[in-house]
Amino acid sequence: MVVYDSFSRQKVELPSPPGPIRMYVCGPTVYQRIHIGNARPFVVSMWMRAWFHERGYEVKLVENITDINDKIYEAAARQQMASAALAEQSARSYVEDTDDLGLGRPDVEPRATEAIPEIVALIGDLIDCGLAYESGGDVYFRVPAYPDYGSLSGAQPDDMIAQEPSELKEDPRDFALWKATKPHEDTRWDSPWGPGRPGWHIECSAMAEKHLGPEFELHGGGLDLRFPHHENELAQSRGAGRPFARFWAHNGMLQLADEKMSKSVGNIVSLREVLDTYGREAILIFFLGGHYRGPLDYSGEAMEAAQAQAEGFRNAFRGAAEQPAAGWEAFGAALDDDFNTQAALAVLHEWRAAGQLELLLRGLSLFGLGSLAEQESAPEEVVELASRRHEARGRGEFEEADRLRQEVEAAGWQVRDKPDGFDLVPL
């Protein structure tokens, strides 16, 4: 199986099963409900875990929740509430919303607030080896002292300078590992450098090592995190002597009106809104339709098309006879080649058209879409209306049959006539 490694800029062969695949994926910073774009790394990582399990790997997926961050303090101040309360409220909403995607949970979902001792210890190691220094209660990473800085993202000096302006830095390219408490910040932790809280980047380095060890196979997250977040993670961990991630897999961004969906820009559609409007199955099929590394255009039309595909798959399981299976090879080959869900989705449609229901159900289930094979039973009162309609049609009373059909549809069901009776399917 191969994946595209963002570090080497080429496809690389993963170790053969049944060896381990330990994955760390950057989750959200929780200060409001996540948008549909934030859901993409969650969905991709859960699908990858399912496929790795299918291929026989021993998989452990760690996906963090960032509950200490400048954005949380700022949002809490605007809402006049405690930052810890806002983070907890937003974290609960994140879990509730992603639960409703029906993909299960990562194996571990650590929070930054649970890793303060590990964060402080890692910063201490960086100070001891000369890659970090204390200044005014802050601690900074010495970017010029780490020659490989920029190797993941290709960052240029001007990009580095723009990270975090501060007069306390030795060099404008340096970034914060620990930040002294500011007057507006209502949470703080003790450290050898005084009360404060961790910088964003050091949190993930510490959480990844805490739950996966100093070296692991795969690091994922959104492409927008490659710089500075992932670049800084890599510098911190390798600078402190940890091998860290062997390979990097970044997912592309969702775009709304040709612009990256972003909370800071304000052009967002919440995951909860999309779930309530289109349903989880349409969301999953929408994500399947784009290769995880590429951008994906979100629109109402795209979601309606995904809904139609979901209905097409559901219809395949309604009264169809099973046809002989033609094989799993094309589907497996698509996912083994850098997790090409576009190609896998095309195979699923081929199986649907050919009536190969056993293969179709197996493939859909890998993506959390096995529910499309489940046939919902209509309430008794709807069955009674449909039966009366069927009898009216048999007597030639077509106006009465049409009236009863409208009652059935008003109840959320559709009657489909068959030579020997009828079927009821939800609208």
Residues 324, 188, single domain; the answer is: no
For residue 307, give the CATH number of its domain: 1.20.120
Tens-of-pLDDT digits for all 427 residues of the chain? 999 999 999 999 998 899 999 999 999 999 999 999 999 999 999 999 999 999 999 999 999 999 999 999 999 999 999 999 999 999 999 999 999 999 999 999 999 999 999 999 999 999 999 999 999 999 999 999 999 999 999 988 777 776 778 889 999 999 999 999 988 899 999 999 999 999 999 999 999 999 999 999 999 999 999 999 999 999 999 999 999 999 999 999 998 865 666 655 556 899 999 999 999 999 999 999 999 999 999 999 999 999 999 999 998 988 666 666 668 999 999 999 999 999 999 999 999 999 999 999 999 999 999 999 987 778 888 889 999 999 998 898 988 988 998 999 898 888 877 677 887 877 7
Domain count, the chain: 3
- Residue 353 domain-assigned (yes or no): yes
Residues 237, 366, single domain; the answer is: no
- Residue 289 domain-assigned (yes or no): no
Range of the domain at 195: 2-260
3 state SS for the chain: CEEEECCCCEEEECCCCCCEEEEEECCCECCCCCECCCHHHHHHHHHHHHHHHHCCCEEEEEECEECCCHHHHHHHHHHCCCHHHHHHHHHHHHHHHHHCCCCCCCCECCEHHHCHHHHHHHHHHHHHCCCEEEECCEEEECHHHCCCCCCCCCCCHHHHHCCCCCCCCCCCCCEEEEEECCCCCCCCECCCCCCEEECHHHHHHHHHHHHHCCEEEEEEEEHHHHHHHHHHHHHHHHHCCCCEEEEEEEECCEEECCEECCCCCCCCCEHHHHHHHHCHHHHHHHHHCCCCCCCEECCHHHHHHHHHHHHHHHHHCCCCCCCCCCCCHHHHHHHHECCCHHHHHHHHHHHHHHCCHHHHHHHHHHCCCHHHHCCCCCCHHHHHHHHHHHHHHHCCCHHHHHHHHHHHHHCCEEEEEECCEEEEEEC
Residues 72, 187, single domain; the answer is: yes
Specify the pLDDT at position 163. 73
- Residue 104 domain-assigned (yes or no): yes
Residues 247, 395, single domain; the answer is: no
pTM of the model: 0.86
Residues 170, 75, single domain; the answer is: yes
